[in-house]
């Protein structure tokens, strides 16, 4: 008996009522060569280090979560969800993989692929924006509709789509992580003919998002109005003392956990304590130390 699964995404069924039910027709193991890539896959780039880590895990433990596919002919299947797992399985040298077979329409296949990737945060900012654009154009969805499907704010969707107004060159810098979406929003406020020059200024001088936003307000592209001042701002005495205090706290925590520690202040209040570790054994050692310290309190 087939099992009907809950729809993926918040409000997906209500917004697109003609979607067919997600039905698992079978769970089995097939030759990996029979699985074709998803034609609607919005992701184009993979983090190679993470892909190798997953590949090693699959070699050690096998593929725990089956791939989700749709049968397209007597001998072939097309992937719906699990692109990264499929690539890792190939790296691991697997010849057979476990699969779920679903009965879905072509329209639903596209939506499932986009929603699965975005919800798992596997896409780059540009890929995510293009995925939203595809939902908007192919299914005539508003930004609010897409926000409900993704469980995000409407402003988040709108800001993501604005990235596509930038030139291919600037989008490439975002893909390469040379600038962030925050930088991109500052770049969008500059005249279009100056955006690429402004982007290169940001990259060359490693401007923060806040600094880029400040400079964007009056940027003209002229050398007489540089976006970067090499002089470091003079910190007030209280701020210097605060920085020394944080440095001392970092050193103290580092001595306790025997790992590199960084305290990052937030703009308004509070902050984060970042503890770096080399591998899983090192992480477990840090956790044991923290547990011992807590037990002494």
Query: Do 82 and 184 share a domain, yes or no?
Result: no
For residue 216, give the nearest of 243, 179, 248 by alpha carbon. 179
CATH code where residue 96 lies: 3.90.1530.10
- Domain final residue pick, 155, 188, 223: 155
Q: How far apart are CA 170 and CA 136, in angstroms?
A: 23
The H or E element spanning position 66 is: none
Handedness of CA 108, 110, 111, 117 (dihedral sign): positive
Query: Do 265 and 182 share a domain, yes or no?
Result: no
CA 257 to chain centre: 30
Q: How far apart are CA 68 and CA 80, in angstroms?
A: 5
For residue 293, give the nearest of 255, 262, 264 by alpha carbon. 255
- What is this structure's pTM? 0.53
Q: How far from 252 is each of 246, 247, 248, 264, 289, CA to CA, in Å?
A: 10, 9, 6, 15, 14
For residue 93, give the nearest of 137, 58, 133, 140 by alpha carbon. 58
Residue of 254 and 167 predicted with greater confidence: 167
Residue 10: is its pLDDT beyond 80? Answer: no
Question: What does the CA dihedral 176, 182, 184, 186 come to, rounded to 10 degrees?
Answer: -150
Two tokens, residue 10: 């918040």
User: Do 163 and 193 meet the contact criterion of CB atoms below 8 Å apart?
Assistant: no
Q: How confident is the model at residue 38 (pLDDT cuts 50, 70, 90)?
A: confident
Catalytic residue among 78, 83, 121, 214: 83
Domain hosting residue 192, numbered range: 176-233
Q: Does residue 169 lie within any of the structural domains?
A: no
The H or E element spanning position 170 is: helix 168-175
Q: Which among 66-75, 124-133, 202-211, 286-295 has the top mean pLDDT?
A: 202-211
Query: Do 18 and 87 share a domain, yes or no?
Result: yes
Residue 186: is its pLDDT beyond 90? Answer: yes
Q: Which among 31-35, 50-54, 181-185 has the top mean pLDDT?
A: 181-185
Q: Which residue has the tokens 């030139």?
A: 167
Residue 83 catalytic? yes
Residue of 115 and 206 predicted with greater confidence: 206
Q: Does residue 243 lie within any of the structural domains?
A: yes
CB-side neighbour CA atoms (13 Å) of 291:
6
User: Do 101 and 25 meet the contact criterion of CB atoms below 8 Å apart?
Assistant: yes
Q: Give the per-residue pLDDT at 44.
A: 57
Query: Do 222 and 149 share a domain, yes or no?
Result: no
Task: Give me the helices (H) in 36-167, please.
Answer: 48-61, 83-92, 106-119, 125-139, 143-150, 154-162
Which letter does DSSP use for residue 193 in this model? Answer: G
Query: Do 21 and 82 share a domain, yes or no?
Result: yes
Q: Which among 80-84, 85-89, 264-268 has the top mean pLDDT?
A: 85-89
Residue 92: is its pLDDT beyond 80? Answer: yes
> Could you count the other beta carbons within 10 Å of the beta carbon of residue 73?
7
The whole-chain average pLDDT of the chain stands at 77
Query: Do 37 and 135 share a domain, yes or no?
Result: yes
For residue 89, give the nearest of 41, 134, 57 by alpha carbon. 57
Query: Do 146 and 245 share a domain, yes or no?
Result: no
Among 52-56, 170-174, 184-188, 194-198, where is mean pLDDT lowest?
A: 52-56
**Total of domains in the chain:** 3
- Domain final residue pick, 155, 190, 217: 155
Residue of 259 and 39 predicted with greater confidence: 259
Query: Do 204 and 241 share a domain, yes or no?
Result: no
Q: How confident is the model at residue 5 (pLDDT cuts 50, 70, 90)?
A: very low
Q: How confident is the model at residue 17 (pLDDT cuts 50, 70, 90)?
A: very low
Portion of the chain with pLDDT greater than 90, in percent: 18
């Amino acid at each position: 008996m087939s099992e009907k699964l809950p729809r993926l995404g918040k409000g997906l069924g209500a917004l697109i009522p003609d979607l067919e039910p997600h039905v698992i027709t079978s769970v089995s193991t097939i030759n990996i060569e029979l699985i074709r890539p998803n034609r609607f896959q919005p992701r184009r780039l993979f983090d190679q280090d993470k892909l190798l880590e997953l590949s090693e895990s699959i070699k050690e433990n096998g593929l725990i979560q089956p791939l989700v596919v749709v049968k397209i002919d007597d001998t072939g299947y097309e992937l719906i969800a699990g692109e990264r797992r499929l690539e890792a399985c190939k790296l691991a040298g697997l010849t057979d993989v476990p699969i779920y077979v679903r009965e879905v329409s072509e329209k639903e296949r596209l939506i499932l692929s986009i929603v699965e990737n975005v919800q798992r945060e596997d896409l780059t900012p540009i890929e995510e924006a293009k995925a939203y654009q595809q939902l908007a154009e192919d299914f005539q969805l508003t930004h609010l509709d897409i926000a409900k499907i993704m469980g995000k704010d409407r402003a988040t969707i709108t800001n993501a789509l604005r990235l596509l107004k930038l030139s291919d060159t600037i989008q490439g810098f975002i893909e390469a992580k040379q600038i962030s979406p925050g930088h991109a929003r500052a770049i969008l406020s500059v005249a279009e003919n100056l955006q690429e020059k402004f982007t290169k200024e940001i990259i060359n001088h490693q401007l923060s998002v806040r600094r880029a936003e400040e400079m964007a307000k009056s940027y003209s592209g002229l050398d007489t109005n540089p976006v970067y001042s090499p002089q470091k701002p003079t910190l007030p005495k209280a701020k210097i003392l605060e920085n020394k205090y944080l440095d001392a706290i970092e050193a103290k925590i580092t001595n306790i956990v025997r790992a590199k520690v960084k305290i990052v202040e937030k703009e308004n209040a509070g902050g984060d304590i970042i503890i770096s570790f080399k591998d899983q054994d090192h992480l477990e050692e840090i956790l044991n130390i923290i547990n011992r310290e807590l037990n002494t309190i």
